[in-house]
Amino acid sequence: MSSDSTAGPASGPRRQRGPALRLRILEAARTTFLDEGFDASMDTVAAAADTTKATVYKHFGNKEALFVAVVTQELDHALEKPARMVASQLAKSTQVRADLVAACRAWVDGIGAPDMIRLRNLVAGELRRFPELGEAWRERGPQRFHPVLAEALCRLVEQRELRIDDIDLAVLQLSGLVVSPNLVYGAYGDPVDAKTRDRLVTAGVDMFVDHYQYRANV
């Protein structure tokens, strides 16, 4: 039997290689960073992952790279559903308000989740020491999702569902209406409650669509 087999009782760190081990380290790092902040030790991460510190360093190189990997994984997970909805549903919508509300709900549910807000606060708190953390957040967050939304809005303009002169500005405005309140108020304590979050989304979309809806005689 291979020495990497997981069969039988464990004796020391679990022997596991490849993607499964990497995922286990990432999950352990995510929990550790959220509980203890960026100053958490790699020994703590290794213990939580049931592996060795040398193995953690082998996979990620250093703590900054590990944190960037955690940020990347969490943002990919948070934005996968809204990005898919925007690209496949909103971009060809004839029910713009309803489809925009659905996409924005998924957007807020992902990026405004309590753990995502805590992770974002950690990134913001470490920008002076490690600006690459902010670069990772921007790259996997706004710089990934905003172009998808911009493309969908362009198509809706082409279909005369909306009338928008500055697409990039419109994306920032929509984000400000539906996402930013959750990030701002969630950063100072309890997250925005579900009822208020939904009111922000629906009212924000109403304001956005009312301002940008296509009017033939304008």
pTM: 0.84
Q: 99 CB contacts (<8 Å, ≥6 apart)? A: 85, 89, 90, 93
The answer to whether residue 91 is domain-embedded is yes
pLDDT tens across 163-210, in order? Answer: 999 999 999 999 999 999 888 887 776 778 889 999 999 999 999 999
Q: Does residue 111 sit in the same domain as residue 129?
A: yes
Q: What is the pLDDT of residue 203?
A: 97
User: How many other CB atoms are found less than 10 A from the CB of residue 138?
Assistant: 14
Residue 2 above 90 pLDDT? no
Q: Does residue 86 sit in the same domain as residue 109?
A: yes
The answer to whether residue 217 is domain-embedded is no
What is the total count of domains within the chain? 2
Q: Does residue 30 sit in the same domain as residue 106?
A: no
Phi-psi region of 189 (alpha: psi -120 to 50; beta: other; left: phi over 0): left
Q: What is the pLDDT of residue 217?
A: 65
pLDDT tens across 69-107, in order? Answer: 999 999 999 999 999 999 999 999 999 999 999 999 999
pLDDT tens across 17-76, in order? Answer: 678 999 999 999 999 999 999 899 999 999 999 999 999 999 999 999 999 999 999 999
Q: Where are the alpha helices (DSSP H) in the chain?
A: 18-36, 42-48, 53-60, 63-88, 96-111, 114-125, 131-140, 142-158, 167-178, 180-186, 194-212
The answer to whether residue 92 is domain-embedded is yes
Domain hosting residue 152, numbered range: 69-212
Q: Does residue 117 sit in the same domain as residue 185?
A: yes
The answer to whether residue 179 is domain-embedded is yes
Residue count of the chain, please give it. 218
Q: Does residue 197 sit in the same domain as residue 94?
A: yes
CATH number (domain holding residue 147): 1.10.357.10
Q: Does residue 55 sit in the same domain as residue 75?
A: no
Q: Does residue 54 sit in the same domain as residue 73?
A: no
Q: Does residue 54 sit in the same domain as residue 114?
A: no
CATH number (domain holding residue 52): 1.10.10.60
Q: Does residue 113 sit in the same domain as residue 149?
A: yes
Mean per-residue pLDDT for 120-148? 91
The answer to whether residue 157 is domain-embedded is yes
The answer to whether residue 84 is domain-embedded is yes
The answer to whether residue 123 is domain-embedded is yes
The answer to whether residue 218 is domain-embedded is no
Q: Does residue 20 sit in the same domain as residue 93?
A: no
